[in-house]
Structure formats: C-alpha cells, structure tokens
Amino acid sequence: MELYQKTAANLSLMLQKKEVSSVEVVQSFLDRIELVEPHVKAFITHTPLIALETASAVDKKRLLGEDLHPLAGVPIAIKDNLCTAGLRTTCASRILENFIPPYDATVVEAIKRAGMPLLGKTNMDEFAMGSSTENSAFFSTANPWNLDKVPGGSSGGSAAAVSTGMAPLALGSDTGGSIRQPASFCGLIGLRPTYGRVSRYGLIAFASSLDQIGPLSLTAHDSALLMDVVAGYDPLDSTSLPEAVPDYAAGLEGEIKKLRVGVIKQNLADGFNPEVKAAVLKLVALLGANGAEIDEISLPLADYGLGAYYLIAPSEASSNLGRYDGVRYGYNAGGDNIEVMFSRTRGEGFGPEVKRRIIIGTYALSAGYYDAYYLQAMKVRTLIRRDYEAAFKKFDLLVGATTPTPAFNIGEKADDPLQMYLSDICNINDALAGVPSLSVPSGIDSCGLPLGMQMTAPPSREGLLLKIAGFLEQKRDPFPLRPRVKLSEGGEL
Amino acid sequence: MAVDFGKEVDHVARLARLTLEPEEKERMTGQLSDILDTARRIQELDTGGVEPTSHVLDLPVVLREDETRPSLPLNRVLQNAPRRQKNFFRVPSIISNVQAEK
C-alpha cells in the first residue's frame, strides 16, 4: 500500500513511530497529485513548497525529540474560502482572483500550529454558493468515481482531493449542505459541526448565521483527529461556543449507550432514489440489530426549510458581499463615478449564481418585503428549531439520506437553479437548526457511485456522530471507500 | 400568486449596486420567479407570536472591553487595494462638482 492510500490516523502512527518521515509522506501525496489532478482538478492553488517546508521542519523537530501534535507531519488540503496569510485565497471568484489575505483564519493557524503541511487550496462553488462545484469561476471539478459526474458542492474540491488520495484530510465549509453533500457524492465522512463549534474567523463569509467549517475524510477517526485540531472557543468569532471541547478521537472508544434512533420520513421521501433509501435502511437495521431502538419521525416543518433557507442565506449573502466594491481589495472595473465603479466591479466580478443570490437577498430585505420574506423566514427558522428540540426529547440521533440521489451529471442542473437547490433538501434543516450533522458512506450503487446516510445529533454532540460513524465503519458489509479513477481515454489511476 | 419579477429586477439590481447585462437580466427573471414561488410557501405558516431566530443556540450577545488592541499594520491593510494613493484607498469622486462650486 502506498503512503497516499493510508488514512490520516495510520500516517500519524507511522510518523510517531518514525517508520516514515513527513517529507516522504508529503512527497507521496505530491506524486499522486501530479498523476490524478489533471483529470479531477480539485485544487485552485497548489502549495508543494509550503508542504515540503512544513514537513521538513516537523521531521527535524521529531529527530530532536520535541513534543509534537499527533497530526504533525500529516498533510491537509483546505477549501479556498479559508484565509491563508500571504497565500492567494480566491473563493473561486473572479472578484478575489488576486486576493492575498493579510492574516490566517483561526483554523489555518491551528493547522499550522499542529504542524500539518498544506498541500493546496481546493476548488469550490463561487463564494460557496452551489451544490456541484460547477459555479467555480475557474473550472469544474470531476467526481473521482465517474469523471462525468459532479463531486457535489460547494466543498467539491476538498471531497475530490480526499477521495482520490491527493490529500488524507481536508477542510470544507457547510452553509446548507456544502460539506455533507459532496462527502456523500464522493463516499467520504463529512461533518458539519454545531454552529459555533469551529471558529469562523477568517472564513470568507457567505451566510454568517449558517456558515460552519468542518472536516472531510476517509474515516470517522480521521475526522475526529482533525476536529481535535480545529474545534474550540475563539474570542475572534463572537458566535463561537464558549464551551469546553471533548477529545473527539478518544471519544470514539468505548461502548455506545442504548440509542434511540429516529428515521426522518422527509429524508427518505417517495421520490428519492430507491438505492439511496435501501442503503440507509440497511445501516439503520444494523443499528437496530445492535440494540438501538428505531422509530420513524416526521419533522412537521421540514418541507418549509428550503423556502426559509433560500431567503435567509441569500439575504445574509447580499449583506456580506456588499464589501466587494473594488475599494479595499479585489477586482476593480474602473469608472469615473463611484456608483458606476461599484456596479461595474460587482457586475463583472461576480458569477451568475452569486448575482442571483444577491438579487434574491436584496429583494427579500428591501422596503415593503422585509416582513413578508426575511422576518417570516427567521420566524419559520424558530419553528424549525422547535421541531428539532421536540425530536431530541424522543431521540438521541436522527437519520435519513444525505442526498435524494447519487452524484448527478456535470451540466445536468447547471441551468436550473431550483433543481440544484433541491439536491441539498436533506441538509438544509439541520443547518437552520444549528445542530451537528454528519454524512457517512452507506454503500455503492449499481452504477458504481457512492451513497451516504446523514446523521444528526443535538447541539454539541458531534462526538456521538463520529462515534456512531466509526461503529458503522466496523460493522457494515465492506465496500470500497476509494474509487479507481477511470480515464475516458482508457486506463485507470 | 405569481409576482412579475421582471419589473423588480432593475430596481433591486440598482439597490445591490450590480450591473446586469440585458440577456443576464432576462435569464434571471424566470429563474428568480421560480425560486421565489418556492420560498413564498413559508408565508402559509402562522407565525403569530413566534420570535424570529437571532442566534440558533440562544447565546448571549458577546461584548468586549472598549480597549485598543494591536491590529494589522497599515501597509498590510492597504496591500490588496486595487487603487491606492499614499496611505489611502483611492476612489472616484463621490460628490461631484463640490470643488468646482467653491
């Protein structure tokens, strides 16, 4: 087995036992990137020199016997909406094409402190708005399981990078499904933590009341290790949770207490792909066979989540993206008066989906519509949260499909935004409620595409999600976690 | 009730300071009507007496002492400015002809 095929947990052990150096590990991923990246295109910016430099520094410290973080020397890829000091951060947008952040995001600082070599910045839908990574202003990313399919989005580059062994770990961000949906489409673990669990400082804002950063990885253990690096209170993020954070990796050990599992009816709806549903029910049965109490639950407000989300998220986006005016940073289209400059800069700098959402959001917030749209959506959000509070009185865990279908074709939904939005239908309500939510691989369909099950826990219980995901990994019928990347010209990687 | 969004787009684009090309506007109008038709379904719900969500986890408002703290040095604040003059962001005239009238 090549180094790039190993899990982060494995690499961490090998490094700690000095069976391998971090430079060797990083070189294995760089070689893999050279081979696979031309076909998958997961990265906007590659940082091989930074990665090797960090790796070599870690190796030196290890030789000197210094105390190192368990993930020291284990490389990572991060989504290109996380600010990296001195390193271009584009948000996959023309408007930030040449933006060099003057500071690091808190999570980036944490990664550096842990000694994790950065392999690059991954592709995404522009400003994290999308579900296929086709909205990147630069290029689309392919699904490694079938290069004609989308990898999901908006963290599609992060998902594709981990899936192909171009990185053992990645960070993404999830506003309404952007970690979980690509994780499902690429056969990975993807965790959206509790709102406030991971600092948003230095994450380029899309919808601030919904944005959360989280891990994508091959296994639950790997995501737990990465959560141990990035989770925790940050005074620089005023919405950060002022709570102690458990040791997620240590929390994977031990018995699972008797679980009450609620199967969300709306997330296994009639129109869903039958193979998606069958795979979820198989994992649910496995939980049942191991002592969990299973029951069905209907979230009465579930069907209103999409409407509320597509008012709240664009409203916040229209406000957040007001800062791109060509003055302090980013693209500037010129113009001899200020209003022309603002409008032209934004008209030329933003892509179609971003413009669509700015228009929806500006409309929903504008005079005469605010009460009927934005305010009503925020009240509906309260009702949705109450749905969850009631559900968690009866259940420890809610489950359903992560997505209604497996990965769809590149181009299939590109001209139909509403259909694109519907691919996040199972992910949105958890985001509105602020609760942690994780996608775990549930199988491979008859076309060879990965499927996922979404599990949701009460606030601050992401540890339970990781633990159950780890349990399922051990107990489920085995299936391949990584694809052979089949090239259109023949051959596979 | 379907809203004719075409009439609104010009006004809203102006509010958002966003230039839209004619074909862009046309394509967007149909798509936005569809999206808003879906979003508008939330208006069916009775939300009388329901507080809007301001923070999902009901955290108290976080305040800090009003003290100066270290911040970014000026050259790094200005390093990404597309147009810069000395220690300023340079912009086109905002209030026209003020100088001339004086």
Show me where the domains of chain A are located: 3-260+462-475
The active-site residue, picked from A22, A154, A217, A223, is A154
Please say if the pLDDT value at position B101 is more than 50.
no
Told to judge if A178 belongs to the known catalytic residues of this protein, a careful annotator would answer: yes
Using only C-alpha atoms, chain A has a radius of gyration, in whole angstroms, of 21
C-alpha to C-alpha distance for A380 and A32, rounded to whole angstroms: 47
Residue A228 token pair: 């141990």
pLDDT digits (tens, 9 = 90+) for A11-62: 999 999 999 999 999 999 999 999 999 999 999 999 999 999 999 999 999 9
Tell me which residue of A461, A464, A465, A463 sits closest to A453, measured CA to CA. Answer: A465
Query: Any idea which residue has 């066979």 for tokens?
Result: A289
Q: What DSSP character marks residue B43?
A: G
C-alpha to C-alpha distance for A43 and A438, rounded to whole angstroms: 24
Q: Which residue of B has its CA nearest to A381?
A: B53
Size of interface A-B (CB pairs under 8 A): 177
Please say if the pLDDT value at position A184 is more than 90.
yes
Give one word for A91, left, alpha or beta, with left for phi > 0 and alpha for psi -120 to 50: left
The answer to whether A362 faces chain B, any CB pair under 8 Å, is: yes
C-alpha to C-alpha distance for A435 and A9, rounded to whole angstroms: 26
Give one word for A92, left, alpha or beta, with left for phi > 0 and alpha for psi -120 to 50: left
Confidence of residue A292 (pLDDT cuts 50, 70, 90): very high
The answer to whether A202 faces chain B, any CB pair under 8 Å, is: no
Q: How far is CA A344 from the centre of its chain?
A: 32
For chain A positions 6-45, those within 8 Å of chain B (CB to CB) are none
Partners of residue A372 in chain B, C-beta under 8 Å: 43
- The domain spans of chain B are 5-44
| Disruptive mutation site among A380, A388, A419 for chain B (greatest number of B CBs within 10 Å) | A380
With H, G, I as helix, E, B as strand and everything else as coil, classify residue B4. Answer: coil
Residue B95: burial class (beta carbons within 10 Å; 0-12, 13-18, 19+): exposed
The active-site residue, picked from A140, A155, A178, A318, is A178
For chain A positions 206-235, those within 8 Å of chain B (CB to CB) are 209, 235
Confidence of residue B8 (pLDDT cuts 50, 70, 90): confident
The answer to whether A366 faces chain B, any CB pair under 8 Å, is: yes
Confidence of residue A254 (pLDDT cuts 50, 70, 90): confident
Of A2 and B101, the structure prediction assigns the larger pLDDT to A2
Q: What is the mean pLDDT of residues B84-93?
A: 93
How many CB atoms sit inside 10 A of residue A39's CB? 17
Contact flag B56-A331 (C-beta cutoff 8 Å): no
Across chain B, mean pLDDT equals 86
Told to judge if A12 belongs to the known catalytic residues of this protein, a careful annotator would answer: no
The answer to whether B98 faces chain A, any CB pair under 8 Å, is: no
Whether A465 and A457 have beta carbons less than 8 Å apart is answered as yes
Q: What was the pLDDT predicted at B99?
A: 52
Alpha helices (H) along A139-219? 156-163, 180-186
| Disruptive mutation site among A379, A383, A462 for chain B (greatest number of B CBs within 10 Å) | A379
C-alpha to C-alpha distance for A137 and A127, rounded to whole angstroms: 10
Q: What is the mean pLDDT of residues A198-212?
A: 98
Is domain A3-260+462-475 in CATH 3.40.50.300, yes or no? no
Instruction: For A451, list phi and psi in degrees, rounded to 5.
Output: -125, 160
Confidence of residue B102 (pLDDT cuts 50, 70, 90): very low
Q: Indicate the residue type of B6.
A: G
Q: What was the pLDDT predicted at B3?
A: 58
Partners of residue B31 in chain A, C-beta under 8 Å: 356, 416-418
Query: Any idea which residue has 């209103």 for tokens?
Result: A304
Across chain A, mean pLDDT equals 97
Q: What was the pLDDT predicted at B7?
A: 76
Please say if the pLDDT value at position B98 is more than 70.
no
C-alpha to C-alpha distance for A362 and A355, rounded to whole angstroms: 10
Q: What was the pLDDT predicted at B4?
A: 65
Query: Any idea which residue has 């069916």 for tokens?
Result: B44
Please say if the pLDDT value at position A442 is more than 50.
yes
Q: What was the pLDDT predicted at B97?
A: 57
Q: What was the pLDDT predicted at A174?
A: 98
Told to judge if A173 belongs to the known catalytic residues of this protein, a careful annotator would answer: no
Question: If you count DSSP H runs as helices and E runs as strands, how many of each does chain B have, helices first?
Answer: 4, 2
Contact flag A382-B45 (C-beta cutoff 8 Å): no
In this complex, the residue of A337, A382, A416 whose CB is nearest that of residue B50 is A382
CATH class of the domain at B5-44? mainly alpha
Q: What is the mean pLDDT of residues A148-159?
A: 98
For chain B positions 35-74, those within 8 Å of chain A (CB to CB) are 35-36, 38-43, 45, 47, 50-57, 59, 62, 64, 72
The complex's ipTM works out to: 0.91
For chain A positions 376-395, those within 8 Å of chain B (CB to CB) are 376-383, 385
Confidence of residue B62 (pLDDT cuts 50, 70, 90): confident
Rounding to the nearest 10 degrees, give the CA dihedral for residues A386, A388, A394, A395. Answer: -170
The answer to whether A311 faces chain B, any CB pair under 8 Å, is: yes
